[in-house]
Amino acid sequence: MDDAGFMALALAEAQRGFDEGGVPVGAVLVGVEGRLLGGGHNRRVQDGDPIAHGEMDCLRRVGRMRSYAGTTLYTTLTPCMMCTGTIIQFGISRVVIGENRSFDGNEDFLQSRGVAVTVLDDPACVALMQRFQREKPAVWAEDIGVDPPG
């Protein structure tokens, strides 16, 4: 499977989160040999867990590994600083980002720490996040740690 195929799996996770009433960010982790290791989606709203971002849920579901070297994390939205730190901490080699229009992430920081970064600018990822931001601006503000609108 190629980057677009794995991003489609991450987007399906994001859609699951949206359908559950949460923030639509999904992620999947792919091993060195190109095999899907697991996926997850943002569960902050559903679980009342402030750190249950899509990338974090994905890694929790994949579980403990001896090494994450050579793995690729596909995420529908550019990672926040918390998720960026986790990517660096565990030595994930590559991050493929669905879109970076909706949030000013940490791509330069990832690259400065040796992580290969690819931004797909996927229209479906953009559309889902824009829909969420229109429909639930207060939840979005909470997720990114800013004051709610109005």
The secondary structure of 3-41 as a DSSP string is HHHHHHHHHHHHHHHHHTTS---EEEEE-TTS-EEEEEE
Helix axes 3-19, 54-62, angle to 10 degrees: 110
* Dihedral sign, Cα of residue 105, residue 108, residue 109, residue 110: positive
Distance CA(130)–CA(145), nearest Å, equals: 18
Residue 85, helix vs strand vs coil? helix
Distance CA(70)–CA(72), nearest Å, equals: 7
Which residues are part of the catalytic machinery? 55
Among candidates 102, 95, 35, which has minimal Cα distance to 62? 35
